[in-house]
Structure 1
């Protein structure tokens, strides 16, 4: 198995790579992507299809995965597919959720942490981009927090929302309402990038220009994260 990790030392000036099957592909701008997603697969089969499609693209671009550590639901689908494709997988999960979301064989490297706050902080630390798939309260909370961190200048990494079959239409409309009513700055609305397909979303994320030129100092980060 050819691990994606081996390609980390290659110059970012290169714009092509040779994949495992000998074909030539595009070098991704990101080395590790954090994927937020549900511990369930949902009722619509399109959610699972999109999760696997995203995993395939990550493998093709030799991008490693950081995720919530669960082996069930969309988390399980994405992590298993990326790991099977030869890329490094890091799962971060709180002790309290390990019995519920870690069923059967674990995938890749699993880091067990004390609580949800540490989980989010660790996931953010290891990733250089973020993607949210369909999910429940936990997924949305992770998404909103990482958007807020960007707004505050804690990071300058792109944040993508994979809006499968319009799942997040209402949430995106709420963001627009927030701008309209003066609660969200127009510039901050552009922090969240959305698309209906993984390929479109990754392209938008690679073209993303952050609203802050540089991220806040590590000291500031530590003060704002538990």
Structure 2
């Protein structure tokens, strides 16, 4: 009779082999020489260490210009178009506005185009203004009745008028590779939960990044965790939510999620199991 310890070890080995195969297939599909990198006994300590190790070794097997010409970093995958949800108000906390501007600058640095809900006010306006005035590509999806009255002021970039908020999320969902959510109220939550309900119906699996400025989304994250514990929400849905207090880290996590998608993988808290007893083929 097999011991429980042996069964656990066997399950871990199968999980690691599956992870190795998934990563190998993702990176091989992007081109470059296939070679072997030994990870035996390697302790990465964190998701960032794991990701950086893979990316560092991938860089050795393929030229910078081939994988991502003209960008400042070399990664197996980069987000090209991100959708933004957030308030048309600035809120009371000055960190909200400052971080929104930082987000716009980082999107420019990474050459990520932006789609947002239109207008020039609030946190959405701050991000869109920063991207647009620095030469970035901006597309706004705004309901016609709001665009006509200029409720939120003039918009930046290419205006795409739709009939309702529902179709705004529909259009953004089809064009975007990831979503970034800034602090906001009811309208922001409407968009956020529309996306997550669509995910439960299999309409999308795009990662959703919560920019948790000053812990604004802490209560929301607790609610989601409680919903999973009470079987009101599938864990696979919960894992689509990625959160970070930092702009740079949040975008890194979103890029990681796009590079290595897969059911049951939590990109928000991806922790390498310690000593990986396997070989990763790059």
User: Could you say which TM-score interval applies, normalised by the shorter chain?
Assistant: 0.7 to 0.9
1:101 is aligned, of 151, 169, 178, to 151
How far residue 18 of structure 1 moved from its aligned partner, in angstroms, is: 3.5
Task: Give the match for residue 18 of structure 1.
Answer: 70
Q: How does 1:113-128 map to 2 (within 5 A)?
A: 113-128=162-177
Q: CA RMSD in A?
A: 1.9
Task: Give the match for residue 114 of structure 2.
Answer: 65
Task: Give the match for residue 75 of structure 1.
Answer: 124
Aligned length: 196
How far residue 70 of structure 1 moved from its aligned partner, in angstroms, is: 1.7
Task: Give the match for residue 263 of structure 2.
Answer: 211
2:230 is aligned, of 157, 172, 181, to 181
State whether structure 2 residue 186 is matched by structure 1 residue 137. yes
How far residue 107 of structure 1 moved from its aligned partner, in angstroms, is: 1.0
Task: Give the match for residue 272 of structure 2.
Answer: none
Task: Give the match for residue 92 of structure 2.
Answer: 43
Whole-Å separation in 2 of the counterparts to 1:26 and 1:85: 22
How far residue 150 of structure 1 moved from its aligned partner, in angstroms, is: 2.1
How far residue 101 of structure 1 moved from its aligned partner, in angstroms, is: 3.3
Matched residue SS, 1:38: coil
What is the TM-score normalised by the length of structure 2? 0.65
Matched residue SS, 2:83: strand
C-alpha contact 1:35 1:66 (8 A) present in aligned 2: yes
Matched residue SS, 2:197: helix
C-alpha contact 2:88 2:152 (8 A) present in aligned 1: no
State whether structure 2 residue 216 is matched by structure 1 residue 164. no
Q: 1:210 to 1:51 in 2, by over 3 A?
A: farther
State whether structure 2 residue 244 is matched by structure 1 residue 195. yes
C-alpha contact 1:39 1:72 (8 A) present in aligned 2: yes
How far residue 109 of structure 1 moved from its aligned partner, in angstroms, is: 0.6
Matched residue SS, 1:140: helix
Displacement over 6 Å in runs of 4+: none
Whole-Å separation in 2 of the counterparts to 1:120 and 1:188: 18
Q: What runs of 5+ residues in structure 2 fail to find an aligned partner?
A: 1-29, 32-65, 265-282
Worse overlay, 149-158 or 34-43: 149-158
How far residue 100 of structure 1 moved from its aligned partner, in angstroms, is: 4.7
